[in-house]
Amino acid sequence: MFKIFKLKSYLPYGVYKTIFDIDYKNLFNQNKRYILIDLDNTIIPYDVSIPNQEHVQFFEELINIGFKVVIISNNKSERVGNFAATLKVPYVSSAAKPLKRGYKKAFKILNIKDTSLVIAIGDQLMTDVLGGSRVNIDTILVKAIKKKSEKWYTKINRHMERITLNRIKKKYPEVYNKIMKLED
């Protein structure tokens, strides 16, 4: 898998501690109009299932700025759907990131024709960043909220992520340093 995709496919457009640290007005000014955002360990940890008031306000703010938002997750429909319904936003579950099909489904939901208008946000290089790269959208990497509650398959991705980060360190040290600051 490491040699299948070019190393640039794993490079995020931006790196932030949390979804709340991103300057969304600036993204809107950069002509981004759609946000595809991961659920687990990006918005909430795996052991939380419903949004709190901070999440409700966050999604309201995104919509007030002018964004159209879709939650895109590899998790099951029941979990993702219940969370999205509370926030009144569409969702794609069982997205199979980094495969393209979940992203294409999100594009269809939002009627997206121009992928330069889209930004994806997630906590994993191996699913969120790579998946976004595969459909030609910019991605923002955030720090995982709570790694201890991750599923076994996510822990495998984290191992592959460490190997990929070592490759990034050699060729793109400035990006590597930004990513590693997330762990501080």
CA distance 137 to 75: 21
Binned at pLDDT 50, 70 and 90, residue 183 comes out as confident
Q: Evaluate if residue 102 carries a pLDDT over 90.
A: yes
Mean pLDDT, rounded, for 17-24: 97
Query: Is the pLDDT assigned to residue 4 strictly greater than 70?
Result: no
pLDDT at 24 over 70: yes
Cβ-based neighbours of 100, under 8 Å, separated by 6 or more? 131, 134, 135
Burial of 29 (0-12, 13-18, 19+ CB in 10 A): exposed
Domain layout of the chain by residue ranges: 7-181
- Could you read off the pLDDT of 44-86 as tens digits, one per residue? 998 888 999 999 999 999 999 999 999 999 999 999 999 999 9
pLDDT score of 131: 96
The model carries a pTM of 0.89
**pLDDT tens across 129-181, in order?**
999 999 999 999 999 886 565 566 666 766 777 877 778 888 888 888 888 88
What pLDDT is attached to residue 164?
A: 78
**What whole-number distance in Å separates Cα of residue 153 and Cα of residue 34?**
28
Looking at residue 148, what is its pLDDT? 63
Distance CA 25, CA 61 (A): 10
Q: Which is more confidently placed, 109 or 168?
A: 109
The CATH number fitting domain 7-181, selected from 3.30.450.40, 3.40.50.1000, 3.20.20.105, 3.40.50.2300: 3.40.50.1000
Torsion of CA 101, 105, 111, 115, to 10 degrees: -30
